[in-house]
Structure 1
Amino acid sequence: MCGRATIITPAVELEKRFNAAFAKGAVLQENVNISAGNKIPVITSAQPNHIQMFILGYTPHWAHKQTYMINARSEGSLNPENSTTYKGAMGIFNKPMFRHAIKSQRCLVLVDAFIEGPKQEKLNKPYLVYPNRDRGPFALAGIHDTWQHPLTGELHHTVAIITSAANRLTERIEHHRAPVVLSRADEEKWLNPDISVQELTRMMQPFDSKGFNAYPISQKIKKPEANGLELLKPTGDKLFKDYDRCLYERLKFAEEDEYVIREERLVEGDQFVLF
């Protein structure tokens, strides 16, 4: 599953990255600890040129009460062992709660990082998962629906993040699931209303971990009301050694104009020189 999500990229940069404008009335608020019930930016197949703010926590339109399902298993109940080599059918297409949305109400869920913990300890031992090399925000595969409160008539636009079996990175975290991270090439395809089931199935696989890394953060993150950049500060080493700045360092030092991060350049002889 995807425990929590982070969005700190400014609205104007998010618009540039995804070539979409924020819808009228949609206000992006920085949130390093997006949990069920919070707003998160999305781009839907119905409005691919607009970024909207939906509630993280899916509720189907026919439900009698809000359900706040933050994740939807791509395999449904067809991969109970959470095998990372599973290549069978995707049970989500037959799940009553999700079968309508996966076919016609798909969306991109825009994030800078997501937070996950081991299967047993959960967010008592959280890790921040982020793209390395300053790649910026990315898209998770999502589905959405609009639920109307039976008493007030208020409309609630809700979203769930599609998950797959674990990949190399989430396995290192000792978690059995992972959100479906879409490549840039697949973002437009995911929103295509005419895409085939076979192509959707191809995309709902464990994501390539090569462009990502993770590091442990404070368990304070497990409190939904907790927020602030300091929650993303590393409490230990990265899972995989690299020479990139971690997400916290990028954000922290970006706010301090007087501090200039030295870049590493690979020069002749395969030696690193600091500038």
Structure 2
Amino acid sequence: MCGRASVITPAALLEQRFNAAFAKAEQLSENVNISAGNKIPVITSARPNHIQMFTLGFTPHWAHKQTYMINARAEGSYNPNNDPNYDGPAGIFQKPMFRHAIKSQRCLVLVDAFIEGPKLEKLNKPHLVYPNKDRGPFALAGIYDVWQHPLTGEQHHTVAIVTTAANRLTQRIGHHRAPVVLTRKQEEEWLDKDLSMARLTSIMKPFDDKGFNAYPISQKIKNPEQNGLELLKPIGEKLFKDYDRSLYERLKYVEEKPFTIREERLVAGDQFVLF
């Protein structure tokens, strides 16, 4: 599964990266600890030129109450052992909860990172997974639906992140699942309503870990009320050695002037050696 997600990129840069404008009245707020019930930016197949804010936690339109399903298994009931080399059918097409949305209501879920923990310890040992090659926000494969409250009539736009078996990176964390991370080419395909079932199935595979890395962060992230950049601070070594700055360090400094500390990010006790 995908435990939590982080969105830090400002609205204008998200629009530039995904060539889409925020829909009217939509507002983006930095949130490093997005959990079920929180708003997350998406681009839907119905409105591919707009960024909208949907509730993380899928509820099908026919449900009697909100369900808050944050993940949807690509394999459905197949692949019970979560074999990363699984090459069988995508059971999500037969799941009553998801079968309508996966065929006609797909979306991009826009994030800067996601948080995952081991299968047993979960967010007691959280790790931040982020891109260390193509920096900046990226898209997870999502499905959405609009649920109307039976008493108030209020409409809720809800989304789930599609997951598949683990890749080398999430296996190193100790988790058996991973979100479907889309390449830029796949982003366009995922929003194509006419895309074949075969092609959709081929997209819903473990993502290429070569462009990503991860490091352990504080278990304070477990508390959905906790927020702020300090939650993304490393408390241990990266899973794979590289010579790039961690996501936390990139955000702590102004990108254009690498040795200038963003004043609004300073906290008591911070010390930096500039060289």
TM interval, short-chain normalised: over 0.9
Cα offsets for 1:166-197 (capped at 9, x unmatched): 00000000000000000011100000000000
Q: CA deviation at 1:257?
A: 5.8
What residue in structure 1 maps to residue 219 of structure 2?
A: 219
Q: Residues 10-63 of structure 1: CA distance to partner in whole angstroms, max 9, x if unpaired?
A: 000000000000000110010000000000000000000000000000000000
Partner of 2:248: 248
1:113 aligns with 2:116: no
The answer to whether the aligner puts 1:28 opposite 2:32 as a matched pair is no
Could you say which residue in structure 2 is the equivalent of 1:186? 186
Offset at residue 256 of structure 1 (A):
10
Between the aligned partners of 1:42 and 1:152, the Cα distance in structure 2 is: 25
> Hey, what does 1:71 align to over in structure 2?
71
Provide the residue aligned with 1:2 in structure 2: 2
Counterpart of 1:50 in structure 2 is: 50
Q: Structure 2 CA distance, aligned partners of 1:161 and 1:236?
A: 28
What is the SS of the residue equivalent to 2:101?
Answer: helix
After TM superposition, the score normalised by the length of structure 1 is 0.93
Q: Distance in 1 between matches of 2:102 and 2:180?
A: 13
Equivalences for residues 136-175 of structure 1 within 5 A = 136-175=136-175
1:267 is matched with: none
Q: CA RMSD in A?
A: 1.4
* Alpha-carbon separation, structure 2, partners of 1:14 and 1:245: 21
Tell me how far 1:259 sits from its aligned partner: 2.3
Q: Which runs of 5+ in 2 are unaligned?
A: 262-274
CA shift at 1:254, angstroms?
A: 1.9
Q: Which residue of 1 aligns with 2:234?
A: 234
**Does structure 2 conserve the Cα–Cα contact (< 8 Å) formed by 1:42 and 1:109?**
yes
Match of 1:92 in 2: 92
Question: 1:200 aligns to what SS in structure 2?
Answer: helix
Task: State the 1:81 CA deviation.
Answer: 0.4
Q: Is the 8 A contact 2:164 2:180 kept in 1?
A: yes
Distance between the aligned counterparts of 1:119 and 1:78, measured in 2? Answer: 19
* Deviation for aligned residue 1:244: 0.7
Q: What amino acid is the match of 1:115?
A: I
Distance 2:95 2:249 in 1: 42
* Distance in 2 of aligned mates of 1:9 and 1:167: 26
Q: Matches of 1:133 and 1:190 in 2, distance apart?
A: 22
Contact 1:117–1:125, Cα closer than 8 Å, also in 2: yes
Q: Is the 8 A contact 2:134 2:211 kept in 1?
A: no
Counterpart contact for 2:39–2:56, Cα < 8 Å? yes
Cα distance between partner residues in 1 of 2:223 and 2:199 = 38
Q: Which residue of 1 aligns with 2:129?
A: 129
Give the secondary-structure state (helix, strand or coil) at the position aligned to 1:227: coil
The one-letter amino acid paired with 2:13 is E
Q: Which amino acid aligns with 2:23?
A: A
1:140/1:179 contact within 8 Å kept: yes
The match for 1:264 is none
Which residue of the partner structure matches residue 208 of structure 2?
208
Distance 2:145 2:258 in 1: 46
Deviations 1:114-163 (A, max 9, x none): 00000000000000000004610000000000000111110000000000
Gap runs ≥5 in structure 1: 262-274
Specify the SS of the correspondent of 1:96: coil
Query: Percent same amino acid at aligned positions?
Result: 78
- Corresponding letter in the other structure for 1:93: F
Query: How many residues align structurally?
Result: 262
Aligned to 2:272: none
Contact 1:133 / 1:245 at 8 angstroms: preserved in 2? no
Return the letter of the residue paired with 1:69. Answer: M
* Residue 252 to residue 153, structure 1, CA distance change in 2 (3 Å): same
